[in-house]
Structure 1
Amino acid sequence: MEHLVRHAVTTIRERYPEPLSLDALAQNAMVSKYHFLRVFSRVTGVTPGRFLTAVRLQEAKRLLLSTSLNVADISARVGYSSTGSFTRRFTELVGLPPTRYRQLSLAARDATPAPPRCGRCAPPAR
């Protein structure tokens, strides 16, 4: 049955922007939704819905740090039909609203000093 979960995880990771329901995932695995839910939860430790949310929020965090897209565009790209729902869920699970996450993460990245250069890599002294 672990192959069933591996297939579902791959499906979720590839199709996270789409509206993926428990029914659709179970149907794709060709088992009842109740059996699918039990097996998925036992193998992964979380429900398919929580796993989907985690994948979506991980991608949202990546987009917040690597693009200049606004929160509404990011929420739509990761599969949320409502920016308010996305912001509420992001804040609940990450601990910060998306815009604040972006601000703090970028500020921390910019404030991190460059690693010291090795003696072999340093430019020659004059």
Structure 2
Amino acid sequence: MSPRTLEKRDIRPAAPNAAVQGLLALPSLRILPLSAGDRITGYGQTGDYILSAAAQGNLTVSAYDHYALLDAGQAYLLAEPGAYTLQAVSDGLYFLLQLRGDLAPRLLADRRANENFLFHGGAAAVREAAMALAVLEDGGGGAPGETASALAYAMLLKLQALPAAVRTDAGSPLVEAAVAIIQEEFPFLEGVDELAERLEVSAAHLGRVFTKKIGISPGKYITRVRVEYAKLLLRDPDTTITYVAEASGFANANYFAKVFRRETGLSPTEYLAGAPRRPAGNIPHFGI
């Protein structure tokens, strides 16, 4: 297997012929090695099915009326989601596929009727299809549309055959709620004590459950989300360190600089000097 297959990349297979296109097409595939706090956004139009998978690590998937926290090995399907967001809860390897055509809803009709889009073990099928397309692209000439459709069909059959996903981890709802609050409100959170109080559990219990499931403590996760957001703000040419510190939820610029260097190996000023730029005034919103 090519060493490039696990790099961050965007694969766009050629469009299949018209007959195949109407049945099943795979217009895009993204292979995403992400760090905790990294965020990917997109938009699913009418007829789109957005399939995400966590091969390694934990991932949140959110859209207008959907929210899921994926464990390693799980896949999640969004039908015509509109704006959606993926955010890595821990370092890991993730996949994002766009599907179109009549076969996707037909093959997964039972899951859709029950609004059950979560597939335990589904990441393996998604990864297999993704790796095959990556190898084809590495071989030169890109990925043929008909081949991409055939791989997508085989993947959907494997997802269809998986048993319905039922959560058995009693800690999952608590962790899901904690992650949702952190991702939405990290600039304003005082810390883990406030988070635990809002969830009506002790900070110690929250720390144990969160760390067991995610692999890092809730305090560490809050810090990583803040630092990743700060990186986005530092891409604006008119920003200031003080503004970035306040907007990201740090107590002051000095503390922000200390944490930022610890997490990235660079000072905010050094990162500011080398970061790819956004147009002035185009500051991303922190919410999901």
TM-score, normalized by length of structure 2?
Answer: 0.36
Q: CA RMSD in A?
A: 1.5
Where structure 2 has 5 or more consecutive residues not aligned to the other structure, the ranges are 1-170, 278-288
Match of 1:27 among 182, 194, 197: 197
Q: Output aligned runs, 1:1-126, within 5 Å.
A: 1-106=171-276
Would you tell me which structure has more strand in proportion to its own residues?
2
Distance 1:34 1:64, change over 3 A: same
Q: Tell me the percent identity.
A: 32
Q: Is the 8 A contact 2:186 2:248 kept in 1?
A: yes
Would you tell me which structure has more helix in proportion to its own residues?
1
Which residue in 2 is equivalent to 1:117? Answer: none
Please state how far the C-alpha of 1:67 moved relative to its aligned partner: 4.9
CA distance in 1, matches of 2:252, 2:187: 13
Where structure 1 has 5 or more consecutive residues not aligned to the other structure, the ranges are 108-126
Please state how far the C-alpha of 1:99 moved relative to its aligned partner: 1.5
Q: Deviations over 1:54-106 (max 9, x none)?
A: 00000000000135210011101111121000001101110111111121223
Residues matched between the structures, number:
107
Runs of 4+ in 1 over 4 A off after TM superposition: none
Please state how far the C-alpha of 1:21 moved relative to its aligned partner: 2.3
TM-score, normalized by length of structure 1?
Answer: 0.78
CA distance in 2, matches of 1:67, 1:94: 20
